[in-house]
Amino acid sequence: MPSRDNRYKKMIPTFDMSVESFHNASITTRLFNWIRETLPEGSTILELGSGWATGQFAEHYTMFSVEHSAKYLDKYDSTYLHVPLKEHKQMANHVSTKWYDADILKEKLKGVEYDLLLVDGPPQTRSGFYKYMELFDESKIWVFDDMHRGIDRKVVVSVASRLASPYIVYCSDDGKPFAVINDPVLVKE
């Protein structure tokens, strides 16, 4: 009988990475590895929330980074889209009321094409993603970090329900689980 830890090695391989380990403000090594395994080299990532991992991805992918904070702009090799936060009306069953200014975001996303969307911002206030999800290309892979947080799990449940789409939650032994909509392992008929 295989041990619990060995059952999914094929699904989530462990890369031999020669980088320093990912810290708390970043995605986990496992999420980084999953994207590296899933997304062909040279593809394009649109991320909400930039940080140390942006620089790691930039070694393999073309990056677009939506960033609300001037402090974290232009740190890595990415096209930064500076979009300040703005209050929005609270949605039923959701808590947070501050997200990227949707009008500015819409303008900045014009002409931006991508293969994978990584939702890792803004910090702790992501109900706006559900409110404004039409701004994003729903045919692409959508990855949501921080599934250990109830408010962020709720966003994924709401988004997947509206898309009538299944999603996968990848649990992690190095910190935070993440969720994926349009995961390529879920082959469409």
Ligand X SMILES: C[S@@+](CC[C@H](N)C(=O)[O-])C[C@H]1O[C@@H](n2cnc3c(N)ncnc32)[C@H](O)[C@@H]1O
- The minimum distance between CB 145 and ligand X, in angstroms, equals 7
Provide the mask over 91-120, with x wherever binding to ligand X is found by CB under 6 A and - wherever it is not: -----------------------------x
Q: Both tokens of residue 173?
A: 């032994």
Query: Which CB atom, from 1 or from 102, has the smaller least distance to ligand X?
Result: 102
Give the distance between the most distant pair of CA atoms in the chain: 54
Instruction: Assess 123 for contact with ligand X (CB under 6 A).
Output: yes
Report residue 9: phi and psi, to 5°.
Answer: -60, -35
Query: Which CB atom, from 47 or from 183, has the smaller least distance to ligand X?
Result: 47
30, 109, 121, 158: which one binds ligand X (CB under 6 A): 121
Count the residues of the shown chain that bind ligand X, applying the rule CB under 6 A.
17
Q: Residue 36: in which H helix or E strand, if any?
A: helix 29-38
- For residue 24, give every residue at least 6 positions away whose Cβ sits within 8 Å of its Cβ, in sequence order, or none: 175
**Residue least distant from ligand X (Cβ):** 51
Examine residue 2 and say whether the peptide bond preceding it is cis (omega within 30 degrees of 0). no
Is 90 in a helix, a strand, or coil? Answer: coil
- The minimum distance between CB 6 and ligand X, in angstroms, equals 27
Query: Which CB atom, from 92 or from 101, has the smaller least distance to ligand X?
Result: 101
Provide the mask over 40-79, with x wherever binding to ligand X is found by CB under 6 A and - wherever it is not: -------x-xxxxxx------------x-x--x-------
Parallel, antiparallel, or unpaired: how do β-strands 79-82 and 62-67 relate? parallel
- Of 146, 148, 171, 143, nearest to 159 by C-alpha is 143
Is 103 in a helix, a strand, or coil? Answer: helix
Residue ranges in contact with ligand X by CB under 6 A: 25-27, 47, 49-54, 67, 69, 72, 120-123
